[in-house]
Amino acid sequence: MRLYALIVYLFLYIPIGIIVLFSFNSGRHASEFIGFSVKWYGKALKNPFVIEALTTSLIIALSAAFLSSIMGTAAALALQRVRGPIKVLFDGLIYISIMVPGIVIGIATLVALVTVFDIVNPFIESFWATAADAPKLSLGFASVIAAHTLFTMSLVIVIVRARIAGMDRSLIEASADLYASPWGTFRQITLPQLFPAILAGFLLSFTFSFDDFIISFFVAGSNTTLPVYVFSSIRRGITPEVNAIGSMVLAVSLTLLIFAQVLLQRGRKRS
Protein backbone atom coordinates (compact mmCIF):
# COMPACT_ATOMS: atom_id res chain seq x y z
CA MET A 1 0.00 0.00 0.00
CA ARG A 2 2.79 2.40 0.94
CA LEU A 3 4.75 1.41 -2.12
CA TYR A 4 1.71 2.07 -4.27
CA ALA A 5 1.28 5.54 -2.77
CA LEU A 6 4.94 6.26 -3.34
CA ILE A 7 4.64 5.26 -7.00
CA VAL A 8 1.61 7.54 -7.47
CA TYR A 9 3.44 10.46 -5.87
CA LEU A 10 6.42 9.84 -8.15
CA PHE A 11 4.04 9.70 -11.11
CA LEU A 12 2.62 13.09 -10.06
CA TYR A 13 5.91 14.83 -9.43
CA ILE A 14 8.52 13.32 -11.77
CA PRO A 15 7.18 15.12 -14.90
CA ILE A 16 7.27 18.44 -13.04
CA GLY A 17 10.78 17.61 -11.84
CA ILE A 18 11.94 16.83 -15.37
CA ILE A 19 10.77 20.23 -16.65
CA VAL A 20 12.59 22.00 -13.81
CA LEU A 21 15.71 19.86 -14.29
CA PHE A 22 15.90 20.50 -18.02
CA SER A 23 15.37 24.23 -17.56
CA PHE A 24 18.86 24.25 -16.03
CA ASN A 25 20.32 22.43 -19.04
CA SER A 26 23.23 24.31 -20.59
CA GLY A 27 22.86 22.55 -23.95
CA ARG A 28 21.00 24.06 -26.87
CA HIS A 29 18.81 21.03 -27.40
CA ALA A 30 15.98 20.43 -25.03
CA SER A 31 16.35 16.68 -24.74
CA GLU A 32 20.02 16.08 -23.92
CA PHE A 33 21.23 17.19 -20.53
CA ILE A 34 24.75 18.50 -20.90
CA GLY A 35 25.51 20.65 -17.90
CA PHE A 36 24.07 22.97 -15.28
CA SER A 37 23.33 26.55 -16.26
CA VAL A 38 20.82 29.29 -15.57
CA LYS A 39 21.35 30.94 -18.94
CA TRP A 40 17.88 30.01 -20.25
CA TYR A 41 16.29 31.89 -17.38
CA GLY A 42 18.34 34.94 -18.33
CA LYS A 43 17.38 34.49 -21.95
CA ALA A 44 13.67 34.12 -21.15
CA LEU A 45 13.68 37.19 -18.93
CA LYS A 46 15.38 39.26 -21.65
CA ASN A 47 12.89 38.16 -24.31
CA PRO A 48 10.54 41.16 -24.85
CA PHE A 49 7.68 38.87 -25.93
CA VAL A 50 7.93 36.89 -22.70
CA ILE A 51 8.02 40.08 -20.61
CA GLU A 52 5.01 41.48 -22.43
CA ALA A 53 3.04 38.24 -22.06
CA LEU A 54 4.02 38.02 -18.39
CA THR A 55 2.89 41.62 -17.75
CA THR A 56 -0.43 40.93 -19.51
CA SER A 57 -0.96 37.76 -17.46
CA LEU A 58 -0.14 39.52 -14.18
CA ILE A 59 -2.50 42.45 -14.87
CA ILE A 60 -5.31 40.08 -15.87
CA ALA A 61 -4.80 37.73 -12.92
CA LEU A 62 -4.61 40.57 -10.37
CA SER A 63 -7.73 42.27 -11.75
CA ALA A 64 -9.70 39.01 -11.90
CA ALA A 65 -8.64 38.12 -8.36
CA PHE A 66 -9.61 41.54 -6.96
CA LEU A 67 -12.95 41.67 -8.75
CA SER A 68 -13.91 38.13 -7.82
CA SER A 69 -12.88 38.48 -4.15
CA ILE A 70 -14.99 41.61 -3.73
CA MET A 71 -18.05 40.49 -5.72
CA GLY A 72 -17.81 36.89 -4.50
CA THR A 73 -17.57 37.86 -0.83
CA ALA A 74 -20.48 40.31 -1.18
CA ALA A 75 -22.60 37.64 -2.85
CA ALA A 76 -21.66 34.97 -0.28
CA LEU A 77 -22.63 37.27 2.60
CA ALA A 78 -25.88 38.30 0.93
CA LEU A 79 -26.84 34.72 0.02
CA GLN A 80 -26.99 33.64 3.66
CA ARG A 81 -29.84 36.11 4.11
CA VAL A 82 -31.76 35.10 0.99
CA ARG A 83 -34.28 32.27 0.73
CA GLY A 84 -36.61 30.90 -1.90
CA PRO A 85 -36.34 31.21 -5.69
CA ILE A 86 -33.51 33.81 -5.67
CA LYS A 87 -31.27 31.50 -3.65
CA VAL A 88 -32.11 28.53 -5.92
CA LEU A 89 -31.38 30.67 -8.98
CA PHE A 90 -28.01 31.80 -7.63
CA ASP A 91 -27.06 28.28 -6.55
CA GLY A 92 -27.85 27.10 -10.07
CA LEU A 93 -25.81 29.85 -11.72
CA ILE A 94 -22.82 29.22 -9.43
CA TYR A 95 -23.03 25.50 -10.18
CA ILE A 96 -23.27 26.04 -13.95
CA SER A 97 -20.42 28.56 -14.06
CA ILE A 98 -18.15 26.08 -12.29
CA MET A 99 -19.26 23.03 -14.28
CA VAL A 100 -19.39 24.36 -17.87
CA PRO A 101 -16.01 23.53 -19.47
CA GLY A 102 -13.63 26.44 -20.01
CA ILE A 103 -13.70 25.87 -23.76
CA VAL A 104 -17.46 26.47 -23.92
CA ILE A 105 -17.13 29.61 -21.74
CA GLY A 106 -14.34 30.81 -24.05
CA ILE A 107 -16.36 30.23 -27.23
CA ALA A 108 -19.57 31.68 -25.83
CA THR A 109 -17.83 34.80 -24.52
CA LEU A 110 -16.01 35.29 -27.83
CA VAL A 111 -19.17 34.97 -29.91
CA ALA A 112 -21.32 37.10 -27.58
CA LEU A 113 -18.78 39.89 -27.12
CA VAL A 114 -17.96 40.16 -30.83
CA THR A 115 -21.68 40.30 -31.60
CA VAL A 116 -22.26 43.00 -28.97
CA PHE A 117 -19.25 44.99 -30.23
CA ASP A 118 -20.54 44.80 -33.82
CA ILE A 119 -23.81 46.35 -32.66
CA VAL A 120 -22.33 48.95 -30.29
CA ASN A 121 -19.36 50.17 -32.36
CA PRO A 122 -21.37 51.83 -35.21
CA PHE A 123 -23.50 53.45 -32.52
CA ILE A 124 -20.42 54.96 -30.84
CA GLU A 125 -19.06 56.03 -34.22
CA SER A 126 -22.21 58.03 -34.93
CA PHE A 127 -21.27 60.39 -32.06
CA TRP A 128 -17.86 61.17 -33.52
CA ALA A 129 -17.14 63.54 -36.44
CA THR A 130 -15.05 61.00 -38.30
CA ALA A 131 -15.47 57.26 -37.90
CA ALA A 132 -11.72 56.73 -37.69
CA ASP A 133 -11.41 58.81 -34.49
CA ALA A 134 -14.14 56.95 -32.63
CA PRO A 135 -13.07 54.56 -29.87
CA LYS A 136 -13.73 50.96 -30.81
CA LEU A 137 -14.63 48.20 -28.42
CA SER A 138 -12.59 45.09 -29.08
CA LEU A 139 -11.37 41.92 -27.41
CA GLY A 140 -8.46 42.38 -25.04
CA PHE A 141 -7.62 42.73 -21.37
CA ALA A 142 -11.16 43.51 -20.28
CA SER A 143 -12.76 40.53 -22.02
CA VAL A 144 -10.25 38.06 -20.52
CA ILE A 145 -10.67 39.59 -17.05
CA ALA A 146 -14.45 39.42 -17.38
CA ALA A 147 -14.44 35.78 -18.55
CA HIS A 148 -11.98 34.64 -15.86
CA THR A 149 -13.94 36.47 -13.18
CA LEU A 150 -17.05 34.44 -14.01
CA PHE A 151 -15.37 31.24 -12.82
CA THR A 152 -13.23 32.72 -10.03
CA MET A 153 -16.15 34.67 -8.54
CA SER A 154 -18.10 31.44 -8.14
CA LEU A 155 -15.02 29.88 -6.59
CA VAL A 156 -14.79 32.69 -4.00
CA ILE A 157 -18.51 32.39 -3.26
CA VAL A 158 -18.12 28.65 -2.57
CA ILE A 159 -15.05 29.13 -0.34
CA VAL A 160 -16.44 32.08 1.65
CA ARG A 161 -19.82 30.38 2.12
CA ALA A 162 -18.10 27.32 3.55
CA ARG A 163 -16.29 29.59 6.00
CA ILE A 164 -19.51 31.41 6.96
CA ALA A 165 -21.13 28.05 7.70
CA GLY A 166 -18.30 27.21 10.10
CA MET A 167 -18.23 30.62 11.78
CA ASP A 168 -18.79 31.26 15.46
CA ARG A 169 -22.26 32.86 15.62
CA SER A 170 -22.12 33.68 19.34
CA LEU A 171 -19.65 36.51 18.74
CA ILE A 172 -22.00 38.18 16.25
CA GLU A 173 -24.92 37.84 18.65
CA ALA A 174 -22.81 39.18 21.51
CA SER A 175 -21.78 42.15 19.40
CA ALA A 176 -25.41 42.92 18.56
CA ASP A 177 -26.37 42.57 22.25
CA LEU A 178 -23.71 45.12 23.10
CA TYR A 179 -25.40 47.62 20.77
CA ALA A 180 -22.86 47.50 17.97
CA SER A 181 -24.24 48.74 14.64
CA PRO A 182 -24.61 46.07 11.91
CA TRP A 183 -21.73 47.71 10.03
CA GLY A 184 -19.58 47.79 13.18
CA THR A 185 -20.26 44.09 13.81
CA PHE A 186 -19.41 43.30 10.22
CA ARG A 187 -16.15 45.24 10.28
CA GLN A 188 -14.94 44.10 13.69
CA ILE A 189 -16.31 40.55 13.98
CA THR A 190 -17.40 39.05 10.65
CA LEU A 191 -14.70 40.39 8.35
CA PRO A 192 -11.69 39.36 10.51
CA GLN A 193 -13.15 35.85 10.78
CA LEU A 194 -13.76 35.61 7.05
CA PHE A 195 -10.46 37.19 6.04
CA PRO A 196 -8.41 33.96 5.68
CA ALA A 197 -11.10 32.47 3.41
CA ILE A 198 -11.30 35.64 1.30
CA LEU A 199 -7.53 35.77 0.94
CA ALA A 200 -7.41 32.07 0.02
CA GLY A 201 -10.12 32.74 -2.58
CA PHE A 202 -8.06 35.65 -3.91
CA LEU A 203 -4.95 33.49 -4.24
CA LEU A 204 -6.80 30.60 -5.90
CA SER A 205 -8.47 33.06 -8.30
CA PHE A 206 -5.10 34.57 -9.15
CA THR A 207 -3.63 31.10 -9.75
CA PHE A 208 -6.55 30.02 -11.94
CA SER A 209 -6.40 33.16 -14.05
CA PHE A 210 -2.60 33.11 -14.31
CA ASP A 211 -2.58 29.47 -15.45
CA ASP A 212 -5.65 29.53 -17.68
CA PHE A 213 -4.97 28.85 -21.32
CA ILE A 214 -8.20 27.97 -23.08
CA ILE A 215 -10.37 30.98 -22.16
CA SER A 216 -7.57 33.46 -22.94
CA PHE A 217 -6.91 31.62 -26.22
CA PHE A 218 -10.41 32.55 -27.37
CA VAL A 219 -11.03 36.00 -25.92
CA ALA A 220 -7.61 37.69 -25.62
CA GLY A 221 -7.82 39.19 -29.11
CA SER A 222 -4.41 40.52 -30.15
CA ASN A 223 -3.08 40.35 -26.55
CA THR A 224 -1.01 37.35 -25.55
CA THR A 225 -1.01 35.91 -22.04
CA LEU A 226 1.91 33.82 -20.81
CA PRO A 227 0.17 30.43 -21.25
CA VAL A 228 -0.89 31.42 -24.79
CA TYR A 229 2.71 32.42 -25.52
CA VAL A 230 4.02 29.13 -24.11
CA PHE A 231 1.44 27.19 -26.17
CA SER A 232 2.51 28.80 -29.43
CA SER A 233 6.22 28.34 -28.64
CA ILE A 234 5.65 24.64 -27.91
CA ARG A 235 3.91 24.40 -31.28
CA ARG A 236 7.09 25.79 -32.87
CA GLY A 237 9.31 23.31 -31.05
CA ILE A 238 10.58 22.47 -27.59
CA THR A 239 13.42 24.68 -26.35
CA PRO A 240 15.12 24.97 -22.95
CA GLU A 241 13.74 28.51 -22.82
CA VAL A 242 10.19 27.11 -22.69
CA ASN A 243 11.30 24.86 -19.83
CA ALA A 244 12.63 27.88 -17.96
CA ILE A 245 9.37 29.82 -18.46
CA GLY A 246 7.38 26.75 -17.44
CA SER A 247 9.42 26.31 -14.27
CA MET A 248 8.84 29.94 -13.34
CA VAL A 249 5.10 29.60 -13.93
CA LEU A 250 5.06 26.47 -11.74
CA ALA A 251 7.03 28.27 -9.02
CA VAL A 252 4.57 31.17 -8.94
CA SER A 253 1.49 28.96 -8.65
CA LEU A 254 3.12 26.59 -6.13
CA THR A 255 4.03 29.47 -3.82
CA LEU A 256 0.56 30.98 -3.94
CA LEU A 257 -1.10 27.59 -3.50
CA ILE A 258 0.86 26.66 -0.42
CA PHE A 259 -0.02 30.03 1.05
CA ALA A 260 -3.72 29.52 0.23
CA GLN A 261 -3.70 26.02 1.75
CA VAL A 262 -2.13 27.28 4.98
CA LEU A 263 -4.82 29.98 5.23
CA LEU A 264 -7.66 27.53 4.59
CA GLN A 265 -6.35 24.96 7.05
CA ARG A 266 -5.83 27.55 9.78
CA GLY A 267 -9.39 28.75 9.29
CA ARG A 268 -10.68 25.18 9.51
CA LYS A 269 -8.78 24.46 12.70
CA ARG A 270 -10.00 27.57 14.47
CA SER A 271 -13.65 26.84 13.77
Partner 1 sequence: MTGQEKKGRWVTAAMLTPSAIWFLLLLVLPLIVVAVFSFGERAPHGGYSPAFTFEQYANLPSRLKAFQNTLIIAPLGTFLCLLVAYPLAYFLAVKVHEKWRLLLLVLVIVPFWTSLLIRTYAWIFILGGKGLPALFEMIGIDDLRLINTPGAVVIGIVYGYLPLMVFPVFVSLEKLDKKLLEASNDLGGSPFRTFLQITLPLSIPGMATGCMLVFILLMGEFLIPAFLGGGKVFFVGNALVDLFLQSRNWAFGSAVATSLVIIMLVVVTVYMRLMMRASAHRDDVSIL
Q: Report, in Å, the least distance between residue 267 CB and partner 1.
A: 14
Cβ 230 vs Cβ 249: under 8 Å: yes
Q: Is 201 in the site for partner 1 (CB under 8 A)?
A: no
Select 130 or 271, whichever has its Cβ closest to partner 1.
Answer: 271
Select the span of 48-56, 105-113, 123-131, 159-167 touching partner 1 (CB under 8 A): 105-113
b/e per residue, 177-202, with b = 16+ CB within 10 A? eeebeeeebeeebbeebbebbbbbbb
Q: Residue 57 and residue 42: Cα distance in Å, rounded?
A: 20
Select the span of 34-42, 162-170, 189-197, 231-239 touching partner 1 (CB under 8 A): 231-239
**SS3 (DSSP) at 264:** helix
Q: Is 107 in the site for partner 1 (CB under 8 A)?
A: yes
Which of 44, 75, 155, 160 contacts partner 1 by CB under 8 A?
75
Q: Is 176 in the site for partner 1 (CB under 8 A)?
A: no
Helices 240-270 and 2-23 pack at an angle, to 10 degrees, of 130
Select 2 or 129, whichever has its Cβ closest to partner 1.
Answer: 2
Select 108 or 134, whichever has its Cβ closest to partner 1.
Answer: 108
Select 32 or 177, whichever has its Cβ closest to partner 1.
Answer: 32
Q: Is 81 in the site for partner 1 (CB under 8 A)?
A: yes
Q: Report, in Å, the least distance between residue 134 CB and partner 1.
A: 21
Cβ 207 vs Cβ 215: under 8 Å: no
Cβ 122 vs Cβ 88: under 8 Å: no
